[in-house]
């Protein structure tokens, strides 16, 4: 155990993701198990600037592993983008006697953690920062998996399965927009899982004639009378896609934008277990005197990486998944 480490803070920032509470619980209980105090920073980096905090103990994180959202709340902070804002955050850390911080969130959270780490180093203050990837978009380059993706996928699948029932009954076309920001991981994963007839993703330039019109025409010639199109929000608007389908094919589709429902709900077993392991590992990093680190998954294991190197990594969509989708919807089968 690092003798210098006595008190740490934990926060959740950016978009919420199912499993964040499980990660918070793991951080708090691992810290307590190793003789550390744990302070919850509410409302992300904004809370660190404004001294919005609460003491956390083992009891205060009881029965949260199964809850969606985050008990620490979350927010985005424009103030934290500026040196002055981060200087106030560093002052709060000093006031609270924090030796380390675990930041749980996505790319924006990590960018903030990196900026804070750099400014702390310049100031000469000792403060170790560790990041845990939690975003339903699964778009963090350094980690194969991010907390929340599995739950969001299952939520979208459940909704689309129900939509398919009514589309089949009325012989209609359904266009469903899923989240994912600028990435298509969620859309393609869900599209394969629900047997979508077409999936539009930002990683593959959309050719409307090829990707939508011809697919629907071939499916109709093959005897299919109902169609399911999944659109990643980064690939375009489902509403606009629906309008084009009506204009070019004479079909009046039903458009559904799933929106933030994908962020809610009780986390799945995978998200609870992964979040727990990541939270545990984040505290182990701090105890070992490691700062400026990001926790991630690689080949099924939990690893920690240098934050500078981790944020420079990119993640490419596995396009073979698209080939799977194409093969399973070819010629209207």
Active site residue 137: yes
Cβ neighbourhood burial of 89 (10 Å; 0-12, 13-18, 19+): buried
* Catalytic member of 16, 137, 150, 211: 137
- C-alpha–C-alpha distance, residues 235 and 231, integer Å: 7
With helix as H, strand as E and coil as C, how does 104-125 read?
A: EECHHHHHHHHHHHHHHHHHCC
Which residues are CB-contacts of 11 (< 8 A; sequence separation ≥ 6)? 40, 41, 42, 44, 45, 47, 48, 72, 101, 102, 103, 104
Q: How far is CA 321 from the centre of its chain?
A: 20
Distance of CA 304 to the CA centre of its chain: 18
Buried b (16+ CB within 10 A) or exposed e, 108-129: bbbbbbbbbbebbeeeeeebbb
- Match 């691992």 to its residue by tokens: 30
| Crossing angle (nearest 10°) for helices 107-123 and 83-96 | 70
Return the active site residues.
Answer: 137
């Amino acid at each position: 155990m690092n003798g210098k480490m006595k008190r740490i803070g934990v926060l959740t920032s950016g978009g919420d993701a199912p499993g964040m509470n499980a990660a918070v619980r793991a951080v708090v209980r691992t810290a307590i198990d190793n003789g550390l105090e744990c302070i919850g920073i509410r409302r992300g980096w904004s809370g660190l600037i404004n001294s919005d905090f609460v003491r956390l103990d083992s009891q205060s994180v009881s029965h949260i592993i199964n809850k969606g959202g985050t008990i620490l709340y979350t927010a985005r902070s424009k103030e934290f983008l500026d040196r002055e804002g981060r200087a106030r955050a560093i002052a709060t850390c000093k006031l609270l006697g924090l030796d380390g911080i675990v930041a749980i969130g996505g790319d924006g959270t990590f960018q903030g953690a990196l900026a804070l780490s750099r400014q702390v180093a310049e100031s000469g203050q000792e403060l170790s920062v560790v990041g845990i990837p939690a975003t339903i978009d699964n778009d963090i380059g350094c980690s194969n998996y991010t907390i929340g993706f599995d739950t969001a996928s299952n939520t979208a699948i459940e909704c689309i399965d129900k939509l398919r029932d009514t589309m089949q009954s009325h012989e209609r076309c359904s266009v469903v927009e899923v989240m994912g920001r600028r990435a298509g991981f969620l859309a393609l994963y869900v599209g394969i899982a629900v047997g979508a007839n077409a999936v539009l993703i930002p990683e593959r330039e959309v050719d409307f004639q090829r990707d939508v019109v011809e697919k629907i025409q071939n499916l109709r010639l093959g005897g299919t009378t109902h169609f399911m199109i999944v659109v990643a929000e980064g690939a375009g608007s489902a509403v606009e896609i629906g309008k084009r389908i009506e204009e070019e094919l004479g079909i009046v589709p039903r458009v559904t934008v799933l929106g933030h429902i994908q962020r809610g709900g009780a986390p799945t077993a995978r998200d609870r277990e992964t979040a727990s392991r990541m939270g545990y590992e984040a505290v182990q990093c701090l105890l070992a005197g490691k700062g400026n680190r990001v926790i991630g998954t690689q080949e099924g294991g939990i690893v920690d990486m240098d934050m500078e190197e981790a944020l420079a990594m990119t993640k490419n969509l596995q396009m073979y998944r698209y080939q799977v989708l194409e093969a399973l919807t070819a010629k209207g089968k």
